[in-house]
Amino acid sequence: MEISGKRSAGILLHITSLPSEYGIGDLGPEAYAAAERMAEAGAVLWQVLPLGPTGYGNSPYAQRSAFAGNEMLLSPELLYQDGYLQKEDLLHPDFPAERIDFGGVQEWKLPRMKKAAWNAMQGKERDAIAAFRKKEEYWIEDYAQFMVLYEEYQDARWHTIWNKKEGLRDKETMEAFRKNRRNDIDVYIAMQYLFSKQMEALRSRVNELGLKLIGDIPIFAASDSADTWSHLELFKTDAKGRYSAVSGVPPDNFSATGQLWGNPVYDWKKHEADGFRWWKERVRRCLEMTDILRIDHFRGFDAYYEIKATAKTAENGVWKKSPGKAFFSALEKEMGRLPIIAEDLGWMTPSVAALREKFGFPGMKIAQFGFSWNEDGTLNTYDDFLPHNYSRNFVAYTGTHDNDTVRGWYSKLSPMEKHAVREYLASPDEEIVWALIRSVMMSSADTVIIPMQDILEKDSDARMNYPSTCNSMNWAWRMQRGEFGDYQCGRFSFLARISGRNGMTAEEARMKRRASER
């Protein structure tokens, strides 16, 4: 991410968490309203989670494609305005207001999105869809075919349940499949066109308001994704073509047994051999949707934690080296300076820091992690995650999607720990959330991102994810229309202004003040 001397503040709010009548946040009017409200609050960054289609468990970090957009984020209202849906198509069940019923949303919404795509194909968008198809040819045909088969096999994994010839992409079998299912394949391609059209329009409006969108790239591909199905040669497999190793992280702050992600690991030699083309195409595609990219688990580009595919936990993996320097050099040579935030949390080594610093990528700081304790029970004031210890080239957060909300986190501390937090923040219990936000805002970190749940002072019920679990609570939180009201907007705006984070250099701020005084 280009560091230009400007301190900045932003808000973390995933698209799915926006208000909507249709059971899940989307790219429609509420997204535009959210962007306008963020700009009013003095934010200059809007961070979202990965935008790809999700599979079992609904995690945006386990995408069915590293390139595609999530069709469930399409706005029915915008499709109606474009003439691709009728008024009766907008009639919907009584979806829960505060949480996403992913199954119910999928059942109601997907047929309508397919209908809109079919109508777009038959009308004025035909040529535009054809041009989009050509532009995205590296991935889109494979994705569309994969999704048609995925539906046919009722979401079963391609590498375990599918017919072997389809799973291994037998040439004659796939030629017959493409001929027989041409319309279904075309519909998926048209849905991706519509997603890109709506995403491009939203991003354009976000930029007009003076904000930049921060996207997110999970480092690994999902095991049951279009990416592994179409590019199995890029992943480590055994002699029978089965995954031989999977990814994760060792025990850390999030889990005592580590995190067994289960994603297949890359065969980096194969990636290097073709100049990292798959990655270049992926980064290019993601930068079509957002302005800046947060790379999840950046540590994996220096070394990754490899676990036997048969393991039950992540406790006994081994670290393997990755060609991070060659990889980022290749990307930079082709794309120029990369607008990347490096998620460098967890156990880091000097070589990880050196890789991040070589390419100028800011790292991350999580304020909740800073409250660690000395042997005598006192606060360890030297902890790198305490706001007063931040240096400039970092993006600081109160918490992320993997953390509890500040309110929920604080409620679970012991009386002694709560006392230390109150002392550090010079705050009573009822003001702890905003006191921590203020502390992060006033830090030296160039960039600060605050989750919407903390701005709204939500408790643990609004937590986005519990790592290493798969339950209906994960990824399902939604904010309500009007919750980001004048009070919350005003408090954020005040802190953004007094901490110099409203997107201006000191000189620009002085010029603006002088102009207002004339």
Return the residue matching tokens 């083309």.
277
Annotated catalytic residue within 30, 402, 404, 454:
402
d(CA 381, CA 26): 42
Phi, psi of 363 (to 5 degrees): -95, -165
Q: How far is CA 211 from the centre of its chain?
A: 17
What 3-state class would DSSP assign to 319?
Answer: strand
| Distance separating alpha carbons of residues 108 and 93, to the nearest angstrom | 8
Helix-then-strand count for the chain, H and E: 19, 12
The answer to whether 40 is a known catalytic residue is: no
Q: Is the dihedral of CA 104, 110, 113, 118 positive or negative?
A: negative
Rounded distance between C-alpha atoms, residue 457 and residue 455, angstroms: 5
Tokens matching residue 237: 């497999």
Q: How many CA atoms lie within 13 Å of 342's alpha carbon, on the beta-carbon side?
A: 26
Active-site hit among 142, 343, 404, 446: 343
Run of H or E residues at 183: helix 182-208
Specify whether 36 is catalytic. Answer: no
φ and ψ of 218, to 5 deg: -65, 135
Tokens representing residue 512 in the block? 């603006």
Q: What are phi and psi of 492, to 5 degrees?
A: -65, -45
The H-assigned helical ranges of 138-181 are 140-152, 164-167, 171-180
Report how far residue 149's alpha carbon sits from residue 158's, in angstroms, rounded to the nearest whole number.
Answer: 9
Q: List, in sequence order, the alpha helices (H) in 382-451.
A: 406-411, 415-425, 432-441
Eight-class DSSP state of 379:
B
- Assess whether 127 carries a catalytic annotation: no
Return left, alpha or beta for 297; rule: phi > 0 is left, psi -120 to 50 is alpha, else beta: left
Q: Which of 296, 404, 446, 454 is catalytic?
A: 296
Amino acid at 193: Y
Q: Which residues are catalytic?
A: 296, 343, 402
